[in-house]
Structures are given as structure tokens and as C-alpha cells.
Structure 1
Amino acid sequence: MIGWGDVYKVVEAMLPLYTALALGFASVRWWRMFTPEQSDAINKFVSCFAIPIFNLEFTLHIDPFAMNYRFIAADVVAKAATVLVLVAWAACGGAKQDLSWPVTSFSLSALNNLLVVGVPLVRAMYGPPGQDLVVQSFVMQALVWLPLLLFALEYRKAVANYTAASGDESGAVCIELPGEKAADGGGDGRAAEAGRVHLRRRPSSWAPMTVVLLKLSRNPNTYGSVLGMTWAAVANRWHLKLPAIVEGSVLIMSRAGAGMAMFSMGLFMANQEKLIACGPGLTAYAVVLRFVAGPMAMAIGSIPVGLRGAVLRIAILQAALPQAITSFVFAKEYGLHANVLSTAVIFGTLASLPLLIAYYAILELRH
């Protein structure tokens, strides 16, 4: 049973996040230390360096051969079902042929703060076995679901850019040419104007995908966790130890992950007119997806794989953990509903402790 000492440990893990948030907010709102461009650069650093190395550091030390594969299967089923529902929503026109809200809804319902909040809380409730499952869930999130989110964000951006570059409904593509003006193309189906040529042809549907794959191949988030898991498998198979110089190099960057992400969020908040930038309606939407839809999907995903007992309760509880800080960083980087994700992280984390204790009590009573 969780006691007041355990609650204090969770609060002790959460409050430093808000210290970084407050410093970021104050540095812009009151001290005027950073411009919006500098704030974007800080978020870029977090997205491209701090987060992938943070994920790498934790995956390096996992034991892939000791993971609970039934628990992992339930997590995959739950999140795959969520993806299918959101894809169907987008395909049926519920998102008006735009991927913006399906992508944001996936972030809200599937990505949670497993390490900072999840580890101390679940360890207090279920001991070391609960902590191990939360860490395994984090590894899957870093290995599978964050790259999937990046793919969706890049694809949405590529499609938007590709659509904007299309000249008309016939599929003409506008291409910028160097120089002052382009020569007239005559009667060969090309219309020339100042510095542009419009090619009258239907562009390939694979063009956005090519751009997406190229960008993902250059993104450290794509392969950071893969490298970590590869080393973890090799090290545990042949009992190898990571060289101290390598581990120190990884640690010095990974320790900046959560703190710099919250600092970046504080910078973002300070540049907004309102503290709750997205309004009460979207805040409620985010809360329902995070604390209701996420646990429900996990409960449903646990049925076909046959999760029972404490593992089932831990699976449902960890699915109700507050919003992942990483989801805000990526939303800010790609310009997609960062106001919604920042509100979900800040106020969801504050509200999560009583909600999770209530979940714990209900699950134990049903047990």
C-alpha cells in the first residue's frame, strides 16, 4: 500500500521539473533573456541531442532477454489499435483530410511520462517488479512509438509542403529557378514567369514519402534507441561492459534531457498571451485522452494476450501516467498544437498524482 513517504518521493521527483519550467518562463517573461528565435534554437537542441541521448542512456542498460513479452505484446496491441482508430478517422474525413488532430491525439493518448513520474510512483505501489515493467514500457516507447510519431509528423509536414508546391488541380508543380527571370517555354505545356516554371504533370505520390525517409534517416531520434537496444542485447548475451569513457559521454548529455525539455516549455509558455494557451475545451480533450482513453486502450489490449493479476494492474496504471514531455518538444519542433501538448504536460502532471492514487485504489478493490 502506498504511504505518505511514497507520495513525498513522487512529489520530490516532480517538483524539479517545475523548477526548470519556472526558470524558462521567468527568463523570457520577466528577464527578457531569450528571443523567440533563441527559444526555438533551445528546443531544437533538446529535440536533436538531449532526447535521443536520454533515450539511448536508458536503453543501453535494459536486459532484452528478461523483458515481460506478454506485457510488451499488450502494449503493442493497445497502441496499434489506437493507431488504427486514428487512421480510420483521418481516412473517413473526420479530420478534414488533415493529419494534424489524429497525430496530436496519438501523442495525447499513447505517450506518457514513464521515468520521472512513473518509476517512483509505480515502485511505491508495486515494488521492483512494477518499476521493471515501467522501464520496459519506456524502452518500447523510445524504440517504436516515438519514431512512429516522428514519421507521422514528418509525413504531415511533407504532404503540406508538397500540396502547397502544387500549382493547380491538374498537378502542376512550381519549381524555383535561379536568376531574375525564366525564358518562356513556348507551347510545350510549360508556363514561365519571373523566376518560376510550372511543369504540367502529375507528381508522383511517393515524393512526400521520399522526403520523409530522407529526413528520418538524418534524425538522431530514429536510431538512438536502436543503437542502445543493440548494445544491450550484445552486452547481455556475451556479458560485456560499456567502457567508462563512453558511458560518461552519454550521461553528461542525457542528464540534460528532462530539465532542458521543461525549460523549453517554460520559454514557450512565456511567449504565449495566456497561461493556458489552448482553452478549457481542448484542455478537457487532452485530459480525457490521457487519463481515460489511454488506460482503456491498455485494458482492451491486455485481453487478447491474457494479462492477469498484478501485471494487468500495472499495465493499466502506467497507461494513465501524465503526458510525456517529449511529445511537447516534438510538437514545438514541427509546429503542431504545441499549446495543447504544453497544457497537457504542465497541468496533467499536477493532476496526475491524485488521479493515479484513485486508479490504484480502484484496481486494488476490484482485485
Structure 2
Amino acid sequence: MITGAEFYNVMVAVVPLYVAMILAYGSVRWWAIFSPEQCTGINRFVAVFAVPLLSFHFIASNDPYNMNVRFVAADSLQKIIVLFAAAISYARGGATLDWAISAFSLATLPNTLVVGIPLLTAMYGDFSASLMVQIVVLQCVVWYTLLLFLYEYRAAQALLLARHPGFDAGSVVAGDRSASSGCHASTIAPADEMSVTSSPQNSKELHMFVRNEDASSVPHDASKEIRLTVSSPIAESGGGEERSSSSTAMGSLQEIPKTMGLTKMILIMVWKKLIQNPNTYSSLVGMVWSLISFRWHIGMPIIVEKSISILSDAGLGMAMFSIGLFMALQPKTVSCGRSATIFSMAMRFITGPMAALPQGIVTFVFAKDYEVLPTVLSTGVIFGMLIALPITLLYYIVLGM
């Protein structure tokens, strides 16, 4: 059973986080201290500096040679099971791709860094902080990368289907998003830019150009040509042969996503997104330093450590402050409807192994960036933060019986 001292330790860890969040909320909603533009600047600072340096601090202090393999394996297994279930539901038509991705986010990606580490440390001691750091490492390096890949796949599918409605949705793997990456989208050339030419072997060659809409913004070799050779029946002649060959060629376009060329394109798109994310650098550099530091017992130079800690120490409070600003800028707390809210909360607080923790902020950032059910993820973040503490205490009391 939970004791009074244990309950107080939890309050000491959690209440300051809520104080920062409430102050930010009141600064916008009640006192009008910050404008929406200023809130955007604060959120940008948190995303670019505070949270990445906070992540680096925890990851660099984690001993990679002394990780709890069983704990990490159990967490990874849960995520794999949810991903597999979401994939089956999507393949059988039980869920759209948007809901499959969102369900994976809700069930597997909690707020381990900002809320999880201080909360579980107060409950179970310092050793739990080490476990949370291990989850943070895998979440940043592996699972957020996978989530980003799924969003890029979905964006590519939507782009190509918009230009070629006859394509099979499950076979679309090319495309990019100009709104999220700052570049113009790579597109498949319209039908009038495809040409069919004759070859000496009584076949037709269909030329399809994959080009960038703004050629001046990318290297010259960004435009690629994919050539398909389609056999032509010699029994037909004249215009009939041309039409038959063209139809066969157009049908063969559904095989294009199986080629290495378009697979390479989508991998390049994902890579562009990753190298633009400061959290990627903080996670990788933190891992490299921890491998070096704990292998040869090398301490970080004090001048470097102080330069990092001056911002990372403020990262936790600034992250919570950013959540409060985001909550205040929303027209209403629950913006996705009652049914979607119930579903998202059930996925968050029942399915996940760390169900007591609120939804991860990064998952909402991705959802908003790609416009994939952002209201559902925002409700998960906001509502999760509001009820995370009582839910956590309930779990803690039940597990302590």
C-alpha cells in the first residue's frame, strides 16, 4: 500500500511540472501575456534547443553496457505486436492508414522523457530513471524513425493517388510533402508527359519521368527517368497496336513501386526529415558519447558539460511550459469528438505498458506536420496531461496491494 511519504515524493516530482503548464496556460488564456506568434517562438526554442539537450543529457548519462535486456525486449515486443495488429487491420480494411498509424502512436509512444523519468523516479527510485532512459533511447532512435517512415509512406501514397486515381493504394510508395520539408514535392509526371516509342524488337518503351516541380531548388540529377519495356502483339496493326501497347504499359505502371528506384526515393525522403530533426542528432551524439565514456571511463570536459547543462536543466520546465501554451491556443480541450476521444484514451491508458503516462508530444508534432488526425493526437496530449496524475496514482495503489 502506498505510504504518505511515497505519495509526497510523487507530488514533489509532478506538481512542479503542472505548475509550469498552468502558468503557461494562464499566460495566454487568462492574462494575454503572450501572442500566438510569441508562443510559436517559445515552442520553437523548446523543440530545437531545450528538449534535444535534455534528451542528450539523459542518453549520455546512460550506461549502454549495463542495460536491462529483458525490460527493453518486453517494451519492444509490445510495440511490435501493436504494429502488427495495426498492419493487419489496415490490410483487411478494418482501419484506414491514418487510424492505423495514429493507433500505433497512441498505444506505444508515451511521454517518457518529460513526465516519465521524474514521475517513476519518485515512485520506484533512481533505478527506474535508468530504465526510462533506455526507453527514451530506443524511442528516439528506432520508433520515432519508424513512425516518420509511416507518415512519409502515407504522404507519398496520397500524392500519387491524387495524380493517378487508377493506381492501387497499397502499391504507392513515392512522393514527398512540400509543406513539411520546405521543398517542393517530387511527383510522377502526368500522362501527357509519358511517351511511347518503338524499338527494333517489336516492343514499346514507355518513358516515365520522375521530376521535381521546382528544378531550381534541387540538384540537377534529382530528376530520374524510369524506362519500362512492354511487349507489343504483332498481330495488331496501326492505331490498334498503339492503343493496346499503351494500355499494357499503363497497367505495368502498378509494378513500378517494386523497383529499387522508387524505394530509394522514399528512403531519401525519410532521410531528409531525419537530418532536419535536432532530436536525431541529440540521440545519436548522446549514444556515441555514452559508448565512449563508459567504455574508457572518460568524463565530459567541464566547459562542455556546463554549456549543455545550462539549457538542459531548463528543458524539463520549458517543455511543460510549451505544453501549456499549446493547450491555451486550442479552441477547446476536446476537439476530435466524443467517440474519437474515448478510443484514443482507451488506447493510451489500457493498451500501453506505460499506460499511466500521457501521450508523447513528438507524436502530435508529427501528426500535425502531416495532417494525419492531429486533433486526436492533440486530445491525447492535453487530456492525458490532465488525468495522468490520478491515473498514475491509481495504478500505483493497485500495483502496491
- How would you bin the TM-score normalised by the shorter chain? 0.7 to 0.9
Scaled by the length of structure 2, what TM-score is found? 0.68
Given the superposition, is the C-alpha separation of residues 51 and 152 from structure 1 closer, same or farther in structure 2, using an over 3 Å criterion?
A: farther
- Alignment-derived partner of residue 235 in structure 1: 293
Given the superposition, is the C-alpha separation of residues 359 and 46 from structure 1 closer, same or farther in structure 2, using an over 3 Å criterion?
A: same
- Alignment-derived partner of residue 282 in structure 2: 224
Deviation at 1:162, TM superposition (A): 4.2
Which whole-Å CA distance do the structure 1 matches of 2:93 and 2:267 have between them? 21
- Alignment-derived partner of residue 112 in structure 1: 110
- Alignment-derived partner of residue 138 in structure 1: 136
Q: For the Cα contact (< 8 Å) 1:323–1:344, is it kept in 2?
A: yes
Q: What letter is aligned with 2:90?
A: A
- Alignment-derived partner of residue 14 in structure 1: 14
- Alignment-derived partner of residue 210 in structure 2: none
- Alignment-derived partner of residue 302 in structure 1: none
Gaps of 5+ in 1: 178-184, 296-317
Q: For the Cα contact (< 8 Å) 1:158–1:212, is it kept in 2?
A: no
SS in 1 for 2:311: helix
Q: For the Cα contact (< 8 Å) 1:108–1:290, is it kept in 2?
A: yes
Given the superposition, is the C-alpha separation of residues 269 and 124 from structure 1 closer, same or farther in structure 2, using an over 3 Å criterion?
A: closer
- Alignment-derived partner of residue 80 in structure 1: 80
Which whole-Å CA distance do the structure 1 matches of 2:359 and 2:119 have between them? 15
Map of 1:101-250 to 2, 5 A cutoff? 101-164=99-162, 166=163, 169=166, 202=253, 204-205=256-257, 206=262, 207-250=265-308
Given the superposition, is the C-alpha separation of residues 258 and 56 from structure 1 closer, same or farther in structure 2, using an over 3 Å criterion?
A: same
Of 202-211 and 266-275, deviating more is 202-211
RMSD: 3.5
Q: What letter is aligned with 1:210?
A: I
Map of 1:267-286 to 2, 5 A cutoff? 267-286=325-344
Q: For the Cα contact (< 8 Å) 1:278–1:339, is it kept in 2?
A: yes
Find runs of 4+ consecutive structure 1 residues off by over 4 angstroms. Answer: 30-42, 185-190, 199-204
Which whole-Å CA distance do the structure 1 matches of 2:14 and 2:67 have between them? 27
Q: What letter is aligned with 1:69?
A: V
Which whole-Å CA distance do the structure 1 matches of 2:369 and 2:85 have between them? 25
- Alignment-derived partner of residue 90 in structure 1: 90
SS in 1 for 2:352: helix
Which whole-Å CA distance do the structure 1 matches of 2:374 and 2:18 have between them? 18
Q: For the Cα contact (< 8 Å) 1:10–1:117, is it kept in 2?
A: no
Which whole-Å CA distance do the structure 1 matches of 2:99 and 2:296 have between them? 45
Which whole-Å CA distance do the structure 1 matches of 2:66 and 2:278 have between them? 27
Gaps of 5+ in 2: 176-183, 185-191, 197-206, 208-212, 215-224, 226-245
Of 139-148 and 284-293, deviating more is 139-148
Deviation at 1:27, TM superposition (A): 4.2
Please tell me whether residue 252 in structure 1 is matched to residue 310 in structure 2. yes
Of 284-293 and 13-22, deviating more is 13-22
Please tell me whether residue 327 in structure 1 is matched to residue 347 in structure 2. no
Structure 1 vs Structure 2: percent identity of aligned residues? 45
Which whole-Å CA distance do the structure 1 matches of 2:161 and 2:36 have between them? 28
Q: What letter is aligned with 2:367?
A: A
Which whole-Å CA distance do the structure 2 matches of 1:358 and 1:239 have between them? 41
